[in-house]
Amino acid sequence: MNEKNDRAAWIKARGARCSLPAKPRAFPPRLILLGAPGVGKGTQAELLCAEMRVCQLSTGDVFRAAKSLCPAERSPAINEALGCMECGELVPDEIVLTLIRERTHCLRCRGGFLLDGFPRTVPQAEALTELLAQEHLRLEAVLNYTLPLAILVRRLSGRRTCADCQAVFHVSSRPPHVADRCDHCGGKLGQRADDQPEAVHVRMAAYVHSTKPLIEYYADHGLLRTISAEGEPERIYERTLAILDA
Ligand code: AMP
């Protein structure tokens, strides 16, 4: 039995069984990570998931996985989503919400969950609130990571991602042990199309326009916890744990 998290059921949805031995918990962690592209949400999600044994549920991962499907397997909606993603634009809410509804089983997980990259707009957040209420599930907190824009752009341009397992590295702050190879699975590291300079610009604009209003939405719901994302991932992680303990 896989003692680590099993994200296959999230990535593939229909037909994929989860092998996570989800131990029922009195208070399963149910968290959302917010923050601009490049703020380091993915790295914090990995660290939190390893500690809490919950799954990192990333909508970006689902779209990236869909890229490797052959054209006949891709629905028109997925093709539209991939087109948006390539240029750094947000995928339309309806497509994202369909994908989330197909994966409600992951939200019900008795071990909890960690949403990374969803919700990204207020309508997505409202739909999630409704879905969780229908399922009688309660969010624990929304962690909002913050960092100045200039540092964000530097982080994104140096980011390298494993083509196979999606692990994230950085040319200077988190280099792999072997150049261009993933430390975890040996897969080839590359720069995501949406980490190219033009796409980064579009993504930042999308963040300011669509995702920043979420901060107010979750503050109003009393769930927002703001964390500085300056410094090494380990320091940011310590701040995260301190916030969660509090
Ligand atoms: P990420 O890996 O979270 O940065 O997502 C990569 C890309 O996938 C984004 O730039 C969007 O094009 C798309 N995407 C992922 N999640 C969402 C979402 N919740 N809403 C809209 N677009 C999304």
144-159 mean pLDDT: 88
Our answer on whether the CB atom of 194 is closer than 6 Å to any ligand 1 atom is yes
More reliable by pLDDT, 12 or 238: 238
| Structure-token pair, residue 135 | 């399922």
Our answer on whether the CB atom of 95 is closer than 6 Å to any ligand 1 atom is no
For the chain, helix, strand, coil in percent to 5 are 45, 15, 40
Task: Name the closest-CA residue to atom 14, ligand 1.
Answer: 60
Residues 8-146+211-241, CATH architecture? 3-Layer(aba) Sandwich (3.40)
- Pocket residue to mutate for ligand 1, from 7, 10, 59, most atoms within 8 A of Cβ: 59
User: What residue segments make up the domains of the chain, in order of their start?
Assistant: 8-146+211-241, 148-195
pLDDT at 2: 36
203-211 mean pLDDT: 88
More reliable by pLDDT, 82 or 73: 82
Our answer on whether the CB atom of 117 is closer than 6 Å to any ligand 1 atom is yes
Collapsing DSSP to helix, strand or coil, 156 comes out as helix
124-133 mean pLDDT: 97
158-168 mean pLDDT: 88
* Each residue's pLDDT tens digit, 225-240: 999 999 988 999 999 9
pLDDT at 4: 45
* Each residue's pLDDT tens digit, 18-47: 766 556 677 789 999 999 988 989 889 989
Nearest-atom number in ligand 1 for the CA of 88 is 10
pLDDT at 157: 86
140-163 mean pLDDT: 90
Residues 6+ apart with CB under 8 A from 45: 33, 56, 58, 114, 116
Our answer on whether the CB atom of 159 is closer than 6 Å to any ligand 1 atom is no
C-alpha of residue 153 to centroid of ligand 1, in Å? 17
On the question of pLDDT at 3 being above 60, the answer is: no
